[in-house]
Amino acid sequence: MDTSAETVRRVLTGTGDTWAIVGLSANERRAAHGVAAVLQRFGKRIVPVHPKAETVHGERGYASLAEIPFPVDVVDVFVNSSLAGAVADEAVAIGAKAVWFQLGVIDEAARDRTRAAGLDVVMDRCPAIEIPRLPDRPE
């Protein structure tokens, strides 16, 4: 992927601390559950987005991005690549500043549309892997 180290750094440190995690449920066996815990540990507010709208890690869940009643900085996409484009379009519609497509979530057309709308985009990377690598990471 062509995601630059600078974009990764900017999204993790300068874009804002409210992360909507699409695909996050209370299922502890899912990767999203662990990634959300890491993001919280590094000071991010996580917002679970899942059709079940479950509370996860103490944060109220919502069935869709459109239902979140406050601004979201980053939309972290933990859904199948075939669904990622619709999530990216919703992220643009709610005024998010960035979209982060998780490892294995690849939709080049969605990336291009999202960038064209002015959002930062990270694709095929994991914030739980990247944030501890930052030399001046938030503690």
Q: Does residue 139 sit within a domain?
A: no
What does the radius of gyration of the chain's CA atoms come to, in whole angstroms?
A: 13
User: Domain tally for the chain?
Assistant: 1
Q: What is the DSSP string of 59-122?
A: B--BSSGGG--S--SEEEE-S-HHHHHHHHHHHHHHT-SEEEEPTT---HHHHHHHHHTT-EEE
Q: What is the pTM of this model?
A: 0.93
Q: For residue 59, what are the domain limits?
A: 5-133
Q: Does residue 13 sit within a domain?
A: yes
Q: Does residue 138 sit within a domain?
A: no
Residue with tokens 């619709």: 86
Q: Please, which residues have CB within 8 angstroms of residue 82's CB and are 6 or more apart in sequence?
A: none
pLDDT one-digit tens code per residue, 88-136? 999 999 999 999 999 999 999 999 999 999 999 999 999 999 998 887 6
